[in-house]
Chain A
Amino acid sequence: MSSHREAPEISKDPVADSTDVYAFVSPDKADTVTLIANYVPLQAPDGGPNFYEFGSEVLYEIKIRHDAAGRSEISYQFRFTSVLENPNTFLYNDGPIQIKNGRLDTSAWNRRQFFSVTRVEPNGKSTVLASDLACPPCNIGPLSTPDYAASSGAPDPLTQAFIYELPSGETVFAGQRAEGFYVDLGTVFDLGNLRPFAADHNTFGIMPVLTNMPGVNSTSAVNVHSIAIQVPITSLTIDGSKPTNYKDSKSVLGIYTSASRQTVRMIDGSGKDQFTGPFKQVSRMGNPLFNELLVPISKKDLWNALPPESDSSFAAGVANPELGQLLPVLFTPDGGSTLFPNLAALDKQIAAGTKKRDDLLAILLTGLPDGVAGAFQNNTGTTQADLLRLNVAIPPTTSGPSNLGLVGGDPAGFPNGRRVFDDVAVIELRAVAGLTYALVDTSYTVDGAAKAVYDVTNDPKDVTAAGSVQYLTSFPYLGTPHSGYFTPETTPKAVPPSAP
């Protein structure tokens, strides 16, 4: 997945597992950047009675760098506190959590979370921007959380009640959302047996050749926990400016998220663990799928613990991606020829050491210089670091955006930051398949399959993942969390008729 359970150790610590980071110039507030960091992956919406929450002992951070090495870095830190209102019930809530007369009645809500927001400046100065902000409840069902309502526009009333505008200019939200990352997981991990290309897949003689089928969004009914913050661009650039020229080096921000835990945990037998010592990073994320796809399994947890400026030590996996070597083999139908002959030839040259994937090295580790992909750049120099690089001088695409982002002719999308609907699985799959190699080697002929391969949706203008995801048009952009009551989605929807 993007970065869900991507490393052996962090897969056992879901509250600290960075799953996705989004960074984009807000389409409805173009003088701001929206940053979203997701944690706690693959939540079954009906997973009670202890519904999902952030880790009270985890330090969550969204970091914005002005250079790849991190010499100048702003950090937004988020800390959570859990409160038990009634210790004598086994329930998350023992009545409706409902808006009445314009106010949220929380009297029946037992297990709650509150959070603080701290901003750390490049000079180390730390300012608490807000504290004791409440997180919304999880979406239990129409009796418990009746004000959650499916929406593809503005946030539902319950979500709206937990969006805070801070005196310092930021808007912030922290709580459960519908998963926004979409991918056909079942096929990806079954040796890349993508349903739309099943007839061309190698079956290794195990089963009959399949017929092509529509893709499936495996994450269409799971939730995630999001920390979302919308920040004026002038509060993020190194000099407080709002760049308008994409060539301006100050227009590029390098973004990543992290989760850290204190060094020592003591299980003292009381049921309440104790923690002490300095915080150590246990998870991070910049570009989607970086750790997942390009770092060997033996080093994934090490990668999570290191700062981005250490990523030159992982560049070999980018210069010669394992998936790039596998694709020609996997997509060789029984008795037929590979769908990726040119990639196979390139792979041989890479294996021989005569070529390397300079396209991927640039996209993921240094940013693209101006001119390589038209009038665009998000380059941060020669230091290799996995950062989501956002050029804030490029305005949002408000009409007909492409879910393929830059490779779809839409410079407001990935790898220029990342929007919630960007089809990053397909973009990176096609890039690894050779689509972007032609940017750095004009003599290279891209395989037809590298332009066509997909898993869920084949429509670049589709911003719904083939109708499986409802994003919002305004903050926090990720959709209303899926309801526990209506899980699985085939649950009879007899009452109430208007429920999600």
Chain B
Amino acid sequence: MEEVSRRMFVKRASLGAVAVGALAATPLAWAETKSHASSPEPDLSGISGPVVAHVRDLGKGLVDVFVGTRLVTVTDRELAKSLTRIAAV
């Protein structure tokens, strides 16, 4: 059970990193767009090693995504809720 949850966590965290890539590229568009699907698909080939998400503030939807030597912070209440739901399983 624990192993499954961890896999799901990392998978979701990867989605968070994707979303942030879109945020950095087009912040206004992101602010208006809540759906990940409507953002352009970024190039993932440069991502290697673990991608870890940390729900820093569930209420504010603050999610820190750690990848390589970078920290990307996303404000996304739905993503924060999704990750927390996984933790609650």
Give chain A's interface residues, CB within 8 Å of chain B: 262-264, 266, 274, 276-279
Q: Per-residue 0/1 for B60-89: is the Cβ within 8 Å of any A Cβ (1 yes, 0 no)?
A: 000000111111000000000000000000
Contact assessment for A279 and B69 in the assembled complex, using a CB-CB cutoff below 8 Å: yes
Contact assessment for A277 and B69 in the assembled complex, using a CB-CB cutoff below 8 Å: yes
Query: Contact check: which of A263, A276, A279 meets B51 at CB < 8 Å?
Result: A276
Shortest Cβ distance from residue B14 to the other chain A in the assembled complex, whole angstroms: 12
B18 within 8 A of A: no
Q: Name the B residues within 8 Å of A262 (CB-CB).
A: 66, 69
For residue A266, which residues in chain B have a CB less than 8 angstroms away from its CB?
A: 50, 52
Q: Given the complex, which residues of B lie within 8 Å of A279, measured CB to CB?
A: 69
Q: With A and B bound together, what is the CA distance between A264 and B68 in angstroms?
A: 10
Contact partners of B50 in chain A: CB under 8 A: 264, 266, 274, 276
Kindly provide the distance from the CB of A275 to the nearest chain B CB, expressed in whole angstroms.
8
Which 3 pairs, one residue from A and one from B, show the smallest C-beta to C-beta distance?
A: A277-B66, A276-B66, A276-B50
Within B35-54, the residues touching A (CB, 8 Å) are: 49-52, 54
B38 to chain A, nearest CB (A): 28
Complex Cα spacing A276 to B69, Å: 6
- Min CB distance A146 to B, Å, is 41
CA distance A262 to B52 in the complex (A): 12
B contact set with A: CB distance below 8 Å: 49-52, 54, 66-71
> Are the CB atoms of A277 and B71 closer together than 8 Å?
yes
A262 to B51 alpha-carbon distance, docked (Å) = 13
A280: shortest Cβ distance to chain B, in Å?
10
Closest-by-CB residue of B relative to A269 is B3
Q: How far is the CB of B10 from chain A (nearest CB, A)?
A: 10
Are B69 and A278 in contact, with the CB atoms below 8 A?
A: yes
Which residues of the other chain, A, contact B70 by a CB distance below 8 angstroms?
277-278
- Grouping DSSP codes into helix (H, G, I), strand (E, B) and loop, the B interface class, with mixed when no group exceeds half, is strand
The minimal Cβ–Cβ distance linking A1 to chain B, given in whole angstroms, is: 32
Q: Are B49 and A263 in contact (CB under 8 A)?
A: no
Q: Are the CB atoms of A264 and B52 closer together than 8 Å?
A: yes
Q: In the complex, A278 Cα to B54 Cα: how many Å?
A: 14
Q: How far is the CA of A259 from the CA of B31 in the complex (A)?
A: 38
Q: How far is the CB of B77 from chain A (nearest CB, A)?
A: 23
10 A-B pairs (CB sep. < 8 Å): A263-B66, A264-B66, A266-B50, A266-B52, A274-B50, A276-B51, A276-B66, A276-B69, A278-B66, A279-B69
CA A266 to CA B54, docked complex, whole Å: 13
A277 to B54, CA, bound (A): 11
Contacts of A274 in B (CB 8 A): 49-50
Known: A263-B66, A264-B66. A278 touches B71 (CB 8 A): yes
Q: How far is the CA of A264 from the CA of B66 in the complex (A)?
A: 8
Bound Cα distance from A339 to B76, whole angstroms: 65
CB distance from B21 to the nearest CB of A (A): 16
Alpha-carbon distance between A278 and B69 when the two chains are bound, in angstroms: 4
A62 to chain B, nearest CB (A): 20
By a CB distance below 8 angstroms, the chain B residues around A264 are 50, 52, 54, 66
Q: How far is the CB of A263 from chain B (nearest CB, A)?
A: 6
- Other A-B pairs, 17, CB within 8 Å; known A276-B50, A276-B52, A278-B69: A262-B69, A263-B66, A264-B50, A264-B52, A264-B54, A264-B66, A266-B50, A266-B52, A276-B49, A276-B66, A276-B67, A276-B69, A277-B52, A277-B66, A277-B70, A277-B71, A278-B70
The docked-state distance in angstroms from the alpha carbon of A450 to that of B52 is 55
B16 to chain A, nearest CB (A): 13
With a cutoff of 8 Å between Cβ atoms, the chain B residues found around residue A276 in the complex are 49-52, 66-69
Nearest chain-A residue to B68 (Cβ)?
A276
Bound-complex Cα distance A38 to B35 (A) = 51
How many whole Å from A124's CB to the nearest CB in chain B?
15
Complex CA gap A262/B50 in Å reads: 12
Whole-angstrom distance between the Cβ of A165 and the nearest chain B Cβ: 30
**Bound-complex Cα distance A472 to B47 (A):** 47
**What is the distance, in angstroms, from A272's C-beta to the closest C-beta of chain B?**
12
In the assembled complex, the Cα of A276 lies from the Cα of B52 at a distance in Å of: 8
Closest chain B CB from A47 CB (angstroms)? 32
B68: A residues at CB distance < 8 A: 276
A264 to B71, CA, bound (A): 10
Q: Which chain A residue shows the least CB distance to B52?
A: A264
In the bound complex, CA of A278 to CA of B68 (Å): 7
**Residue with the greatest number of chain A CB neighbours at <10 A, chosen from B67, B68, B69:** B69
| A264 vs B72: C-alpha distance when bound (angstroms) | 13
Give chain B nearest CB distance to A11 CB in angstroms. Answer: 26
Closest A residue by C-beta to B49: A276
Residues of A within 8 A of B71 (CB): 263, 277-278
Residues of A within 8 A of B51 (CB): 276
A206 to chain B, nearest CB (A): 51
Q: Which residue of the partner chain B has the closest CB to A277?
A: B66
Docked CA distance A277–B51 (Å) = 9
- Distance from A389 Cβ to chain B, minimum over Cβ atoms (Å): 31
Q: Which residue of B lies closest to A274 (CB)?
A: B50
CB distance from A466 to the nearest CB of B (A): 46
CA distance A274 to B68 in the complex (A): 11
Query: How far, in whole Å, are A464 and B51 apart by their CA atoms in the complex?
Result: 51
Given the complex, which residues of B lie within 8 Å of A263, measured CB to CB? Answer: 66, 71
Q: A282 → chain B, closest Cβ, in Å?
A: 15
A278 to B50, CA, bound (A): 13
Residue of A nearest to B3 (CB): A269
Q: How far is the CA of A263 from the CA of B54 in the complex (A)?
A: 11
